[in-house]
Structure 1
């Protein structure tokens, strides 16, 4: 299975009447991730950049801590979907057994089938203060760059994207998927495969920010997370506790800084009301 979109026809209705029109639909297929021969999760995802997805998922879920702990990744097509067979280095299977989950569910859910509610509030490391610093105008530049790097969304209007942006390089990587969590995992996998450290830039998202996106960003050591939509209260609280700069509602020249604003150089210092 390959290709991120399929063609269909729809009855397009407008002021001039109704007519048949060609449309592109985003593909979503079941993707099973198995580790050492045992299925760990089944996600509905876009069938592209799946090796990045397998690596990013393994890292962001804490199954491995470095790309070298994965010996190989195999892609197997089935009539029902795609299986990603991930083979771990010797000794890592015991860690996985402690965190077994079966996550068959819709793309909008990042904690489906969870075995323990404790996983939803897993402790996060605290990011070191300082590090990368963005100018106020960098926020709009990052969002604009990500919008231009979404060919599947331009075709289907049904995709999320995650990007990695630095002040010196601009948009370094971008990955698309029908699920926002999947897009971020693909991005983190691409960074890891390239040997890039997320601490040197910002993660940019096209979606709202839920707690699992904050968790994945912090575990990747990214100091800044930028999104076009709002965060949940739990996501903002987690970002505050972990030292993550969380920027939301980034549209045009405007944006909200919810946590740790010291990493953003504002042109005007806000005054307390």
Structure 2
């Protein structure tokens, strides 16, 4: 039922699916996330990289998604060396939709240091930031139907948005995007990550681990996200709506054009 224009009416609505998604390595469950059951190979690769289980997509030999009760068991097969490293640092955690750091065992793990971004001269113009946000919105097909999922996109100047992933969890959407970028052969350092959510610290950590120097969002960052971005060398652009945005860290990568001025 819907109430519109002071009237009740019946109808149908497409809603986003949400299921438990387990990631298993060497036969043991490492994590269970609530998420959208799509793009699971991308999710597995991106999650594995973000968690420090792998350092490159080539360490993943195979990904098999197997139905498991009301959810899905994503079985990830790693090269022997990666599998041995995982066993040495294995932990269990359960991650609900809104949580990107669930199940960690210490404060130190929550604010873990991330390798600094190599400054290879990547820059964006203000018009390209506006274009990236607009193209991401246009490419969010699932959100257009459900109005219930986050999106993450990878923008390359001159090519536009080359990959988009959606999920009910903002962290999941970013992990899926990271996996898609790695498997698609794009270089994270040659483009910008664009997300539809707020910028919490783990979003910055994931972008930095992937190697992307610019992270753009339609919402604002937290104070810890700003400090982490500054330390890791990530340019943080927030509240990007229409032609306007705010630069919170490393503004040197945003170059002026026309009448625009970047201080």
TM-score (norm 1): 0.92
Report how far residue 266 of structure 1 moved.
2.5
Q: Secondary structure at the match of 2:180?
A: helix
Partner of 1:134: 124
CA contact (8 A) 2:254 2:262 kept: no
* Change over 3 Å in CA distance of 1:62–1:236 after alignment to 2: same
Report how far residue 100 of structure 1 moved.
2.7
Report how far residue 145 of structure 1 moved.
0.3
Q: Secondary structure at the match of 1:209?
A: coil
Aligned counterpart for 1:171 among listed residues 161, 170, 180: 161
Partner of 1:33: 23
Q: Distance in 2 between matches of 1:269 and 1:12?
A: 47
Partner of 2:203: 213
> Normalized per residue, which structure has more strand?
1
Q: Secondary structure at the match of 1:239?
A: helix
Q: Distance in 1 between matches of 2:247 and 2:146?
A: 31
Partner of 2:59: 69
Report how far residue 116 of structure 1 moved.
2.2
Partner of 1:92: 82
Report how far residue 130 of structure 1 moved.
4.7
Report how far residue 128 of structure 1 moved.
2.3
- Structure 2 spans left out of the alignment, 5+ residues: none
TM-score (norm 2): 0.95
Partner of 2:93: 103
Q: Distance in 1 between matches of 2:262 and 2:58?
A: 46
Aligned counterpart for 2:224 among listed residues 207, 212, 234: 234
Cα RMSD between the aligned structures? 1.3
Is residue 128 of structure 2 the alignment partner of residue 143 of structure 1?
A: no
- Structure 1 spans left out of the alignment, 5+ residues: 1-10
Deviates more, 1:92-101 or 1:64-73: 92-101
Is residue 142 of structure 2 the alignment partner of residue 152 of structure 1?
A: yes
* Change over 3 Å in CA distance of 1:270–1:193 after alignment to 2: closer
Q: Distance in 2 between matches of 1:113 and 1:127?
A: 27
Report how far residue 81 of structure 1 moved.
0.4
CA contact (8 A) 1:12 1:19 kept: yes
- 1:90-141 C-alpha deviation (Å, 9 max, x unpaired): 1223322344332323200001111222111111111123521111111110
Partner of 1:82: 72
Partner of 2:234: 244
The aligned length equals 261
Aligned counterpart for 1:123 among listed residues 113, 117, 122: 113
Deviates more, 1:94-103 or 1:24-33: 94-103
Structure 1: which 4+ aligned runs deviate by more than 3 Å?
Answer: 267-271
Partner of 1:19: 9
Aligned counterpart for 1:198 among listed residues 188, 202, 205: 188
Q: Distance in 2 between matches of 1:67 and 1:225?
A: 21
